[in-house]
Amino acid sequence: MFRSPIFILLALLTIYSCNDVSKSIPVQKSKNTDAKNAIESQKWVDLGDSYFKSQKFDSAFYAYNNSRVLYLIEKDSAFIAYISIQMANIQQISSDYFGSEKTIIEALPYIQRNSNYESAVYNLLGISSKELSDFDDALYYYDKAKDATKDSLSRITFENNKANVYIKKQDFPTSIKLLEKVLYSKVLDAHQPSKARILDNLGFSYFKVNRNKEGLGLMNQALTIRKKENDSFGMIGSYLHLSEYFQKSNPQKAKEYALEAYRTAIAIHSVDERLESLSFLVANDFKNTTNGYAVAYIQLNDSILKVRNNAKNQFAKIKYDSDQNRSENLKLKAQETEKSLKLANSENQMLVLLILGVIGMVMAIFRFNQVKSKSKREKLLEAYNTETRISKQLHDELANDVYHAMTFAETQDLTTENNKETLLNNLDTIYSRTRNISKENSTIETGLNFIPNLREMMANYSNQQVNVLVNGLDVLQTIALESNKKITIYRVIHELLVNMKKHSQCSLVVIAFKKTDKKIQIDYSDNGVGVPLDKINPKNGLQNVENRIDAINGTITFDNTTNKGFKVSFSFPI
């Protein structure tokens, strides 16, 4: 049988972090379901609920999906809605937010027939949108979730979720306004963990607008409640907020809170919170060349990515296989129905099919030749443009340098040390220009191997002297980028790493990939000596970086202070 609303809400509260809560509602059984299918489907649903309760989410997803296939055949909207919500929950637990969103959208026509589910569905869509940095969509869905329920605690939860979005957007006055409105609600007195979430987020927002004393008081009050309630996930959130609070005023205390969050995350076997705690520790000890936290962060992050990518692939395969089986079942039903009908005008039908087939074949051949001809013209034009560009570069960049080097060698005494050194420098310059032209015109894989090749290229610059940390690279897998933009990403990051190796003298490099407001943003930072902005020129490659970003309608900013590292941030529209 289905679980009660209270059971499902409490189960999800133990799974999700302290900021977002997703809620499911049990269903009423449809009267239109075939008896045999109903019994089989109910078995799969009960099995899925059992696995979900014991947090065996891959098995739960498989069981729910088997039930979903049967109910889709019968078009039982009530069960489809419930199962889809549970499957989307599981995908979010495994950080498969795109997959979760797709599962909900596929089932939306069935869910809309059961208004009791709207609140849970919109909250799930809000969570996915927030985690994918689509903040405007997240706010829209949380408002829809709030409007779809009359439950006071749920409405407060959605207000808190909205406040979290504004905190992500750095709009702290708005988050304060939302949280102050619900803080003194009487319903929170009966649910202390929810009250602690409100207090902690409000205190953090106060701190961000320089109301430090009030903010610290509320954050400490939230931590006290969470300790009393033995809310380990909540305590981690409090520790990290307090660590950020003391980051400037008392770095040692900030580090102690981050360590406390790290220890708590290890104790409850929470890899996400453990990873977040490590990022705080890395930030507080950024210039330490033997940063053990950075190494731990890399190892844990790589492990999480492998596990979650496997989970995402597994979920996709389960759905694909089940859809194939469903298709086969539908075909069998159609065949059985067709046998009960008389075939009429079969010769005419065959003739029509034959005519259509001939027409289709002729059109396909014509289209193939048209595309082939167009492709040939485009390749010839591209080859001509490439040859012209290389010819111009050779003439403008190399011919004069080679001539001057030859003249110098013929007219100067090369036995002297100074002349010999000058000639070698001139030859090195010619070599560098030649190498750059070669690299600029070499082929870059923009298909399935683009991300592995990009990851490998960045990894090649990580060694015993320099750690290169990469965060969020998988966001590129979820976006259909044009080839020229992929090439630009590869070339720009390569230029920055080459510049780092030549000039930076750093021990740590961080490269972060983000998707924000229909744009891709890439942030580069190192802890080296920096490059003065007045010395950015084509010779150190940074001017090339600006030109490449400008060519794809992007923007780039250099945030640089000598002896305090070098930072570059660039973005471009998707």
List, as one string, the DSSP characters of 29-86: PPSSS-HHHHHHHHHHHHHHHHHHHTT-HHHHHHHHHHHHHHHHHHT-HHHHHHHHHH
Predicted confidence (pLDDT) per residue in 340-350, tens digit: 555 556 666 77
Picking from 418, 440, 462, the residue at the C-terminal end of a domain is: 440
11 and 82 fall within a common domain: yes
Picking from 400, 419, 440, the residue at the C-terminal end of a domain is: 440
pTM of the model: 0.48
Of 417, 432, 524, nearest to 471 by C-alpha is 524
Lowest mean pLDDT of 20-29, 101-110, 308-317, 361-370, name the range: 20-29
435 and 454 fall within a common domain: no
Residue 302: pLDDT over 60: no
Lowest mean pLDDT of 17-26, 280-289, 361-370, name the range: 17-26
- Do 81 and 116 form a contact (C-beta atoms < 8 A)? no
Lowest mean pLDDT of 113-127, 223-237, 319-333, 489-503, name the range: 319-333
Of 519, 521, 478, nearest to 96 by C-alpha is 478
378 and 490 fall within a common domain: no
- Do 254 and 246 form a contact (C-beta atoms < 8 A)? yes
How far apart are the C-alpha atoms of 266 and 286, rounded to whole Å?
22
Q: Which residues contact 55 (CB under 8 A, 6 or more apart)?
A: 15
**The total number of residues written for the chain in this structure:** 574
- Say what the pLDDT of residue 3 is: 41
Of 290, 312, 293, 313, nearest to 301 by C-alpha is 293
Residue 555: pLDDT over 90: yes
Percent of the chain residues topping a pLDDT of 90: 24
Read off the pLDDT band of 133 (50, 70, 90).
confident
- Say what the pLDDT of residue 401 is: 78
Tokens of 470: 């990469």
Domain span at residue 562 reads 450-573
- Say what the pLDDT of residue 572 is: 94
Residue 79: pLDDT over 70: yes
Lowest mean pLDDT of 36-45, 287-296, 380-389, 475-484, name the range: 287-296
Read off the pLDDT band of 161 (50, 70, 90).
very high
Distance of CA 506 to the CA centre of its chain: 28
Single-letter residue type at 137: D
Average pLDDT over residues 560-570: 79
- Say what the pLDDT of residue 204 is: 94
List, as one string, the DSSP characters of 120-165: HHHHHHHHHHHHTT-HHHHHHHHHHHHHT---HHHHHHHHHHHHHH
Q: Is residue 335 part of a domain?
A: no
300 and 404 fall within a common domain: no
11 and 42 fall within a common domain: yes
Average pLDDT over residues 180-196: 92
* CATH number of the domain that residue 70 is part of: 1.25.40
Which DSSP helix (H) or strand (E) runs through 467?
A: strand 467-471
Q: Is residue 160 part of a domain?
A: no
Residue 456: pLDDT over 70: yes
Read off the pLDDT band of 563 (50, 70, 90).
low
298 and 382 fall within a common domain: no
Q: Is residue 186 part of a domain?
A: no
**Looking at the 3D structure of the chain, how many domains does it have?**
4
CB burial string 406-432: b at 16+ within 10 A, e below:
eeeeeeeeeeeeeeeeeeeebeeebee
* Between residues 360 and 38, the one the model is more confident about: 360
499 and 529 fall within a common domain: yes
Of 21, 32, 218, nearest to 120 by C-alpha is 21
363 and 466 fall within a common domain: no
Average pLDDT over residues 236-263: 90
- Say what the pLDDT of residue 64 is: 85
* Between residues 7 and 498, the one the model is more confident about: 498
- Say what the pLDDT of residue 384 is: 56
- Say what the pLDDT of residue 516 is: 84
- Do 200 and 163 form a contact (C-beta atoms < 8 A)? no
- Say what the pLDDT of residue 273 is: 67
* β-pair partners for 556: 570
Determine how many CB atoms are found less than 10 A away from the CB of residue 17. Answer: 15
Dihedral (Cα; 343, 345, 347, 348), 10-degree rounding: -140
Read off the pLDDT band of 22 (50, 70, 90).
very low
378 and 468 fall within a common domain: no
Residue 252's φ and ψ, nearest 5 degrees, are -65, -45
Residue 447: pLDDT over 50: yes
Tokens of 262: 């790290």
- Say what the pLDDT of residue 408 is: 81
67 and 89 fall within a common domain: yes
Which DSSP helix (H) or strand (E) runs through 566?
A: strand 566-573
How far apart are the C-alpha atoms of 101 and 243, rounded to whole Å?
33
Instruction: Report CA torsion sign: 104, 106, 108, 113.
Output: negative
Q: Is residue 124 part of a domain?
A: no
Residue 526's φ and ψ, nearest 5 degrees, are -140, 170
Dihedral (Cα; 282, 283, 287, 291), 10-degree rounding: -10
Predicted confidence (pLDDT) per residue in 284-296, tens digit: 654 443 355 554 5
Residue 385: pLDDT over 70: no
How far apart are the C-alpha atoms of 265 and 275, rounded to whole Å?
9
408 and 495 fall within a common domain: no
- Say what the pLDDT of residue 8 is: 37
Q: Which residues contact 19 (CB under 8 A, 6 or more apart)?
A: 160, 161, 164, 197, 201, 237
Residue 452: pLDDT over 50: yes
Picking from 84, 112, 140, the residue at the C-terminal end of a domain is: 112
Q: Which residues contact 536 (CB under 8 A, 6 or more apart)?
A: 542, 543, 546, 558
How far apart are the C-alpha atoms of 37 and 75, rounded to whole Å?
12
Q: Is residue 471 part of a domain?
A: yes
Instruction: Report CA torsion sign: 99, 105, 108, 110.
Output: negative
The beta strands (E) that lie in 270-320 are given as none
* CATH number of the domain that residue 471 is part of: 3.30.565.10
Q: Is residue 445 part of a domain?
A: no
Q: Is residue 84 part of a domain?
A: yes
- Say what the pLDDT of residue 70 is: 80
Read off the pLDDT band of 534 (50, 70, 90).
low
The β-bridge relationship of strands 467-471 and 508-516 is parallel
List, as one string, the DSSP characters of 408-437: HHHHS-TTSHHHHHHHHHHHHHHHHHHHHH
Q: Is residue 407 part of a domain?
A: yes
* Between residues 559 and 188, the one the model is more confident about: 188
- Start-end of H helices in 268-291: 271-284
Q: Which residues contact 101 (CB under 8 A, 6 or more apart)?
A: 88, 125, 128, 129, 132
Number of C-alpha atoms within 13 angstroms, CB side, residue 40?
14
**Helix 57-74 / helix 292-339 crossing angle, nearest 10 deg:** 20
Work out the end-to-end distance of the chain between its first and last CA atoms, rounded to an integer number of angstroms: 46
490 and 569 fall within a common domain: yes
Tokens of 202: 């409000």
Which DSSP helix (H) or strand (E) runs through 556?
A: strand 555-560
